[in-house]
Each structure stands twice: as structure tokens, then as C-alpha cells.
Amino acid sequence: MKKISIVIPAHNEEDNVVLIHQRVKEVFAKLKNYTFEIIFVNDGSRDQTQAKLEQLARNFEEVKFIEFSRNFGHQPAVKAGMDLSTGNAVISMDADLQHPPELIPDMIKKWEEGFDIIYTIRTYPKQISAFKRKTSTIYYKFLSAISDVNLSEGGGSDFRLMDASVVGVVRNMNEADIFLRGLSNWMGFRRAGIRFTAGERTFGESSYDLKKMMKFAFTGITAFSVKPLYLAAYLGFIFSVFSIFGYGIYVVHSFITKTEISGWASLIMTVVFFGGLQLIIMGIIGIYLGKIFKQVKERPNYIIRSKNF
Ligand code: UDP
Ligand code: MG
């Protein structure tokens, strides 16, 4: 009998954890040749998620939980589940039922065909705001363009099956800011994709507001976010643009009024322009310095407060 580990990060999902367990259980009831475990990772929830998980774990032996000491984020939560998984394959999925458990048999079928990573390609239902759809598409296109991994296919979804051999590779990675969506692509292996339509969130609210999405985006691009350094880069950019406009205005002005360009103004504009340019470059260097800074501290990706196994 092969064992499948289902890893489910949960941040304020008190109404969903019981439901998703139920749905996954129903799916595996029909899969005769597989046993399963569900590893819930409580990522610093402030509602009754932990109490619900402890109750579930008391009633069902396949339910395991990991409780974080605080909110570490979705990606570290998935990593924690994978780190402690014991299955022959690991499937990561969201707690809010946006990732239909009914897709699990198809994923396992592909896995049995010999693929190591089964990723999913999310197509959005009509209800999801056009804003979120568009930003997500643009983000993954942009990310693919500036990095050496192609994320446009399946990059936007953490609903994924990984063979135990792949999980072993992830387990041994100690990147300061883990970004599984990118990593799963970067690692290679034999990959296959499955399409699905993301459902509506059943209960609770999405933990991702615009601010979190922006942060997630920056993490993905630089694998780190060091705000003041970004500020330096932004300021540099703004000053550069400003000085270019300034130049234009003075040139036009001198043509119209037939007076010479004041030496003082053109000098200042040149100074500001190159000052800005230098800030941009320094900001970019700083971003990478910040990444090194975070990496050398070697802090763990997450801290576990309690677990039942
Ligand atoms: N999640 C988490 N930690 C966080 C934010 C989210 O573990 O800081 C979990 C959340 O419980 C859910 C999954 O990650 O299972 C996806 O989050 P959400 O549904 O809020 O994101 P969306 O589907 O809106 O992108
Ligand atoms: Mg969701």
C-alpha cells in the first residue's frame, strides 16, 4: 500500500478544516490501494483553528497537526508539512476548498505513470475579481521574464503533488525565503500539469489582501524584501525621471524665449539625474545584500509550538 501525505496550511480556517478533512476522506474512501495522512499546519491562526484541529486529531488517526509559534506565511507552512511528511508522495492544497480534493485521483494517476511533480494550472471562475486574475497573470509573466524559471504554467497554484524523492530535495534546502512555486519548477524532474477551475472560498476570508500579495510578489522576485533598500531604488528612479522632464522643460524654454539655458539649472539637473541613477544601482545591490544578510543569520523558516506526532 502506498501512502499519500496531504499537506494543508491553515491560517484562520476554523470553519474549513473539518470540511476539507471530510472531503479528502471521501476521496480516499474510493481509492482502495492507498492510505493517507492529512498534515494540517496551523500558521498562527487567531481563531479556533487549533482547537478544531486537536478535536479532529482525537477522532481520526489520519489527522496530524503542526502548530506554528506565530504566523510564518503560507510557503513556510507548506514546507513544514513536507518536512514532516512520511508518504510516498505529498500533495499540498489550500484549506479553503478552492483546490478541489476530487482532483487527487487524477494527480495520483499521473504520478503512477511516472511523473515526479504534478502541478495544476488554475483557471479562474467568473466570480473572482478581474483585478486579482489580471494581476496574477501579469505577475507570473513578469516573474518568468526576469528570472530563469518559467512560471506561467502552473506557477500560480500551490495545489501540487510531489514524489517523495522531490520532497527529499526540498527538505534539504535551507533558503531563507522559501518560494516553492518557483523551486518546484527550478528543480526539474519529470513534470506534468493538470487543469482545474478554482472554486469559491467556502468560509472565512482570504488572508491575502493587496499588501500581502505585494509582499508575496517581492518575495518571489528577489526571495527577500528589504523595504528601505527598495525605497532607495524607487527614489532614484523618481529623481531620474524628474530630472529628464526638467531637462526637457529648460530646453523648450530656451528655444521659445531665445535665451540661453541657464548654466545653473542644467548643472543641477545633471547632478540630480546621476544622483538618482546611483541610488537605483545602490538599491539593487542593497536588495541582494539584504538577501545575504537574511541567509547568513540562518534562522529557521518556521518555529513549531506543538504537534501531535
Ligand atoms: N495561509 C497560511 N498562512 C498565511 C496565509 C494563508 O497558511 O499567512 C493559508 C490559508 O489558510 C489557505 C492558503 O494558505 O489554506 C491560501 O490562502 P488564501 O486562501 O487566503 O489565499 P488565496 O486563495 O486568496 O490566494
Ligand atoms: Mg484561497
- Read off the CATH number of the domain in which 57 is found: 3.90.550.10
Least confident of 64-68, 181-185, 216-220: 216-220
Ligand 1 atom, smallest distance to 72 CA:
8
Ligand 1 centroid – CA 268 distance (Å): 49
Q: How far apart are CA 196 and CA 186, in angstroms?
A: 23
Degrees, nearest 5: CA angle 277-252-275: 15
Nearest Cα residue to atom 2 of ligand 1: 74
Pocket mutation for ligand 1, best pick of 139, 207, 216 (most atoms within 8 Å of C-beta) = 207
- Amino acid 285: pLDDT: 78
Ligand 1 pocket member 101 (CB < 6 A): no
Task: Out of 68-82, 93-107, 233-247, pick the least confident.
Answer: 233-247
C-alpha cell at 273: 539625474
pTM: 0.75
**Cα 9 to ligand 2 centre (Å):** 11
Model pLDDT, residue 167? 94
Flag whether 198 is in a domain.
Answer: yes
Phi, psi of 163 (to 5 degrees): -65, 155
Decide if 127 is inside a domain. Answer: yes
- Using the mean position of ligand 1's atoms as its centre, give its distance from the Cα of residue 70 in Å: 15
Cβ count within 10 A of residue 89: 25
Domain residues for the domain of 87 are: 2-225+299-307
* Distance, CA of 204 to CA of 2 (rounded, Å): 34
- Residue 224 is predicted with a pLDDT of 38
Point out the least confidently predicted range of 140-154, 161-175, 267-281: 140-154
Q: What is the mean pLDDT of residues 263-273?
A: 80
Please check whether residue 43 lies inside any domain of the structure. Answer: yes
CA dist., res. 133 & res. 135, Å (int): 6
- Tell me, using a 6 A CB cutoff, whether residue 116 lines ligand 1: no
CA-to-CA separations, 150 to 117, 185, 201, in angstroms, rounded: 15, 7, 28
The verdict on the CB of residue 77 being under 6 Å from ligand 1 is yes
Least confident interval from 80-84, 139-143, 208-212? 208-212
In a domain, 231, yes or no: no
Instruction: Say what the pLDDT of residue 109 is.
Output: 93
- Examine residue 154 and state whether it is found in any structural domain, yes or no: yes
Is residue 280's pLDDT more than 90?
no
pLDDT digits (tens, 9 = 90+) for 151-209: 655 555 789 999 999 999 999 988 877 878 777 777 888 988 888 776 666 666 666 66
122 in contact with ligand 1, CB cutoff 6 A: no
Report the number of distinct structural domains present in the chain.
1
Q: Are 222 and 287 in contact (CB under 8 A)?
A: yes
pLDDT (0 to 100) of residue 78: 94
Among 26-40, 195-209, 246-260, 265-279, whose mean pLDDT is lowest?
195-209
Q: Indicate if ligand 1 lies below 6 Å from the C-beta of 10.
A: yes
Extended beta strands in 46-170, E state:
63-68, 89-92, 117-123, 160-163
Separation of 54 CA from ligand 2 center, angstroms? Answer: 23
Contacts of 164 (CB under 8 A, 6+ apart): 87, 88, 89, 90
Q: Cα torsion for 52, 69, 212, 229, to the nearest 10°? A: 180
How far, in Å, from the CA of 212 to the mean position of ligand 2? 13
Confidence of residue 227 (pLDDT cuts 50, 70, 90): low
Asked whether residue 176 is assigned to any structural domain, the reply reads yes
Identify the sign of the CA torsion 76, 79, 83, 85: positive
Which ligand 1 atom sits nearest the alpha carbon of residue 93?
A: 15
Q: How far is the CA of 291 from the centre of ligand 2 (A)?
A: 28
**Domain-embedded: residue 288:** no
Q: Is residue 266 domain-resident?
A: no
3-state secondary structure of 209: coil
